[in-house]
Amino acid sequence: EPEVTQTPSHQVTQMGQEVILRCVPISNHLYFYWYRQILGQKVEFLVSFYNNEISEKSEIFDDQFSVERPDGSNFTLKIRSTKLEDSAMYFCASRDLGQGNYEQYFGPGTRLTVT
């Protein structure tokens, strides 16, 4: 069964450093998302992406964040200058076009630890 994959599974970085989190969505999906989840808390929407541009973004997704689809398979989230409060699990998700139930398929996540 096709699945969303994410790398790395765990990233440790120092405050102020840039990180890039990578995702490979399911191959025929056209809508892509990033979420974050601080330990023990709810899943928070960051951004949605379709047709090579951002569709929606939340208040969390400020200028330090950016997304890119550099080729036909990868979808990346860049955090330019990490802060301690960016420590969280980051999930990528994707969905198919025209799927009436709006089902999103989540990857296993990247745990980001900022020290």
Partner 1 sequence: GQSLEQPSEVTAVEGAIVQINCTYQTSGFYGLSWYQQHDGGAPTFLSYNALDGLEETGRFSSFLSRSDSYGYLLLQELQMKDSASYFCAVRDRDDKIIFGKGTRLHILP
Residues engaged in binding partner 1 (CB under 8 A): 31, 41-45, 48, 50, 55-56, 58, 91, 100-109
Rounded to a whole number of angstroms, the minimum distance from the CB of residue 48 to partner 1 is 4
| Longest pairwise C-alpha distance within the chain | 42
Closest CA to 47 of 27, 75, 74: 75
Closest CA to 50 of 31, 71, 76: 31
Rounded to a whole number of angstroms, the minimum distance from the CB of residue 47 to partner 1 is 9
What is the H or E stretch that residue 70 is in?
Answer: none
- Kindly tell me which of 44 and 69 has the beta carbon lying closer to partner 1: 44
- Kindly tell me which of 66 and 106 has the beta carbon lying closer to partner 1: 106
